[in-house]
A = this chain, B = another copy of it.
Amino acid sequence: MAVKTIQWKNDRVIMLDQRLLPHKEVYRVCRDYNEVAEAIRNMVIRGAPAIGVAAAMGVALGMLKAPEKTFDREFDRVVLTLGKTRPTAVNLFWALQRMRDVYSRNRSKGVESVKRALRDEAQKIFRDDIAANKQIGKYGASLMRNAKQIMTYCNAGALATAGYGTALGVLRALKESGSHFEVFVNETRPFLQGARLTAWELKKEKISATLITDNMAGYLMQKGKVDAVVVGCDRVAANGDVANKIGTYTIAVLAKRHGIPFYVAGPTSSIDINCPSGNDIPIEQRDAKEVSHLFGKPLAPKGMKVFNPAFDVTAQDLISAIITEKGVINPPYQPNIRNYVSY
């Protein structure tokens, strides 16, 4: 893997600090679960599947030195702390649930067995995610084989996952299949995941890409410059509504107006079957400074009120298909999605 988003190494969790990309490649070493929680909260690592992997590794790390006497209490504390970091991506809660299940299954074997099992499970979640991404890539590349001008949004790449990417995994697989295409990258304000992360990944991958500001997507579609859109997801509701990075909804509305297919790519760990619709997905509100400042400098007048929702919900009627590692889910989503649920 060219991009090492997150690694488990010598009982440490090592993450590429995504806040400093594309200009600096700095790796952060987390020595305890609080550091992992902090890294998730501060977006050192981001992207729904990557957050899931980080949380699982955080649990394994947090329990390594837990004393036998307070082991159960410590486990609850670790899981609770990691579960409070970010509310929207369901992969976080999915990964924590997997860790809970492993804990329960192994608890009777003693704390050393539990520690080993948790560490193994975190690494399995890591490996499973890469395998899922590669399957998503295959299904997506087949679905989008004729698209020559592809738009993506935010970063659903190696940096958002254990290593290969969901939406960008599809682009990687397309390239591996010999297809030639151009990618339009929305910069994705306010955190600039498109300009900073997706642009960086596509450059490394030698995939031809053009950067635009988010408000230019409609213009490109008007001019016939977009054959298909593919994005990642933070949570898919039972009815097919999708929460993803703020602005995704706008791209989907524009795609609909122009008759352009709009694809969502993500592992089945992003499906939340207990969430009836997008209205039930909690949307994280982040710090005003992410909008009002850049490089620590103010963009707006001092004291300006700011609104900063980190995600929005794309209604299922705007989504052409959802690409998972188990196959492509087509509408109607309400019945079809149940065949693809992983928990």
Give the number of times this chain occurs in the complex, counting copies. Answer: 2
CB-CB under 8 A from A196, the residues of chain B are 299-300
CB-CB under 8 A from A298, the residues of chain B are 23
A42 CB, nearest partner CB in chain B, Å: 19
Q: Is A250 an interface residue (CB 8 A)?
A: yes
Contact, CB under 8 Å: B312 / A222: yes
**Residue in contact with A199 in the complex, picked from B186, B199, B300, CB distance below 8 Å:** B300
Among residues of B, the one whose C-beta sits closest to the C-beta of A292 is: B211
Contact, CB under 8 Å: A304 / B246: no
Q: Chain A, 235-255, contact with B by CB distance < 8 Å: what is the 0/1 string? A: 000000000001101100110
Contact, CB under 8 Å: A295 / B292: no
**Residue in contact with A305 in the complex, picked from B23, B210, B249, B312, CB distance below 8 Å:** B210
Among residues of B, the one whose C-beta sits closest to the C-beta of A215 is: B247
CB-CB under 8 A from A215, the residues of chain B are 186, 188-189, 214-215, 246-247, 250
Contact, CB under 8 Å: A254 / B246: no
Docked Cα-Cα span, A13 to B253, in Å, equals 45
- A-side interface residues toward B, CB under 8 Å? 22-23, 184, 186-190, 192, 195-196, 199-200, 203, 208-220, 222, 246-247, 249-250, 253-254, 257, 291-292, 294-295, 297-301, 303-309, 312-313
